[in-house]
């Protein structure tokens, strides 16, 4: 059996195993435990103070020698990251380049088509303009036997205008004609405030018409302000309006028509100039500036 003994300092029982009979008894001494308050740690005690150890800063040469090694080690990793990030963008750019090339090809084809269409349009425009000129010439030719009499006093709109023109030619121009020489005549528009109106007359032939037209100079300075003009197309009348404005501005000296053709003189002694269009008039006036 084991022997039990108590230590008077700690009241701890020490158990000593019993040796077999015949063997000497050996006791093991256990040092006493210090259970005083001073020996036990408290929960509110301050943590241990750690004193920092001063570290030496690496030198610039060391850092410089380290950078190539780091770059070499990181290069494959960074290259893989960059390539992974750039590849979708690169693929998108390549796709856009393909689209751009296709669009450029189509644009080139469109430009060729547009050029051909423009050339065809210019050709058609020239042909249309030429056709319009021919139609206008034919229209004017159809008016070659007609004259307009301005500021004519008539009894009423329903009066015999053929007789009015026959009397005017006899009394004002000294030209003897009959009503049979007039194919047709009628007023144009309504009388003005003075009761005067414009008459148009188509004569039986050009000779009768021209004989009256060249005699119109006898009407200059008349009190009733009667004057005679050729029956011009709307286009040629618009040219006359521009020429009249130029004469008022003293840019031309005189103008007149003969068989539907329009002539101007820039000065009294100047040569006559044929005007076929408003552009011709502008070019003629610009040449004198």
Q: What is the pLDDT of residues 96-132, one digit of tens each?
A: 999 999 999 999 999 999 999 999 999 999 999 999 9
Q: Would 39 be classed as within a structural domain?
A: no
Same domain, 136 and 147: no
Same domain, 155 and 101: no
Q: Which of these, 209, 195, 58, 212, lies nearest to 142 by C-alpha position?
A: 209
Asked if residue 15 has pLDDT above 50, the reply is no
Same domain, 237 and 273: yes
Q: Would 128 be classed as within a structural domain?
A: yes
Same domain, 149 and 201: yes
In Å, what is the CA distance from 128 to each residue of 184, 213, 264? 33, 34, 28
Same domain, 197 and 272: no
Provide the residue range defining the domain that includes 114: 91-142
Same domain, 148 and 194: yes
Same domain, 162 and 213: yes
Please give the pLDDT value at position 31. Answer: 55
Q: Which of these, 28, 32, 8, 9, lies nearest to 17 by C-alpha position?
A: 28
List of residues 6+ apart from 203 with CB closer than 8 A: 145, 146, 147, 177, 181, 182, 183, 209, 212
Q: Would 77 be classed as within a structural domain?
A: no
Q: What is the pLDDT of residues 164-189, one digit of tens each?
A: 999 999 999 999 999 999 999 999 98
In the three-class reduction of DSSP (H, G, I as helix; E, B as strand; rest coil), residue 212 is classed as: helix
Same domain, 226 and 150: yes
Q: Would 72 be classed as within a structural domain?
A: no
Distance CA 147, CA 201 (A): 6
Distance CA 47, CA 87 (A): 56
Q: Are 277 and 240 in contact (CB under 8 A)?
A: no
Q: What is the pLDDT of residues 47-63, one digit of tens each?
A: 666 565 556 777 888 88
Distance CA 178, CA 165 (A): 9
Tokens of 188: 């144009």
Question: Is the pTM for the entire model greater than 0.75?
Answer: no
In Å, what is the CA distance from 224 to each residue of 40, 65, 96, 172, 197? 147, 117, 82, 11, 12
- Choose between 194 and 160: higher pLDDT: 160
Same domain, 161 and 213: yes
Q: Would 180 be classed as within a structural domain?
A: yes
Asked if residue 38 has pLDDT above 80, the reply is no
- Per-residue b or e along 96-122, where b marks 16 or more CB atoms closer than 10 Å to that residue's CB: eeeeeeeeeeeeeeeeeeeeeeeeeee
Q: What is the pLDDT of residues 227-236, one digit of tens each?
A: 999 999 999 9
Same domain, 245 and 279: yes
Domain boundary among 209, 231, 253: 231
Same domain, 164 and 216: yes
What total number of domains does the chain contain?
Answer: 3
Distance CA 38, CA 285 (A): 129
Please give the pLDDT value at position 53. Answer: 57
Please give the pLDDT value at position 47. Answer: 61
Please give the pLDDT value at position 79. Answer: 87
Same domain, 120 and 158: no
Q: Which of these, 203, 227, 205, lies nearest to 216 by C-alpha position?
A: 227
CATH number at residue 226: 3.30.70.330
- Choose between 82 and 205: higher pLDDT: 205
Q: Are 262 and 168 in contact (CB under 8 A)?
A: no
Strands 261-265 and 273-275, sheet pairing: antiparallel
Please give the pLDDT value at position 12. Answer: 47
Asked if residue 203 has pLDDT above 90, the reply is yes
Q: Would 283 be classed as within a structural domain?
A: yes
- Choose between 266 and 55: higher pLDDT: 266
Residue with tokens 């158990």: 15
Distance CA 217, CA 226 (A): 11
Q: Would 66 be classed as within a structural domain?
A: no
Q: Are 5 and 12 in contact (CB under 8 A)?
A: no
Q: Would 60 be classed as within a structural domain?
A: no
Distance CA 234, CA 231 (A): 9
Tokens of 5: 């003994």
């Amino acid at each position: 059996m084991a022997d039990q003994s108590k230590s008077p300092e700690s009241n701890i029982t020490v158990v000593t195993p019993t040796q077999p009979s015949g063997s000497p008894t050996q006791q093991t001494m256990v040092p006493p435990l210090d259970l005083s308050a001073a020996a036990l740690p408290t929960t509110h005690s301050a943590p241990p103070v750690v004193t920092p150890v001063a570290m030496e800063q690496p030198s610039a040469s060391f850092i410089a020698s380290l950078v190539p090694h780091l770059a070499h080690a990181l290069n494959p990793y960074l290259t893989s990251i960059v390539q992974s990030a750039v590849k979708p963008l690169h693929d998108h750019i390549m796709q856009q380049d393909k689209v751009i090339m296709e669009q450029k090809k189509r644009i080139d084809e469109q430009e060729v088509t547009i050029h051909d269409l423009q050339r065809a349009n210019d050709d058609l425009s020239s042909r249309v303009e030429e056709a319009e000129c021919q139609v206008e010439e034919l229209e004017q030719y159809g008016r070659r036997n007609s004259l307009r009499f301005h500021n004519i006093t008539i009894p009423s709109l329903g009066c015999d205008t053929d007789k009015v023109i026959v009397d005017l030619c006899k009394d004002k121009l000294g030209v003897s004609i009959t009503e049979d020489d007039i194919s047709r005549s009628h007023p144009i528009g309504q009388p003005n405030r003075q009761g005067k109106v414009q008459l148009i007359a188509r004569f039986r032939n050009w000779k009768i018409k021209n004989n009256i037209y060249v005699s119109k100079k006898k009407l200059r300075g008349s009190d009733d302000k009667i004057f005679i003009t050729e029956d011009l197309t709307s286009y040629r009348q618009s040219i006359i309006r521009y020429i009249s404005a130029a004469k008022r501005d003293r840019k031309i000296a005189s103008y007149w028509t003969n068989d539907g053709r329009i002539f101007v003189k820039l000065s009294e002694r100047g040569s006559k100039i044929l005007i076929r269009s408003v552009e011709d008039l502008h070019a003629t006036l610009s040449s004198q500036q």
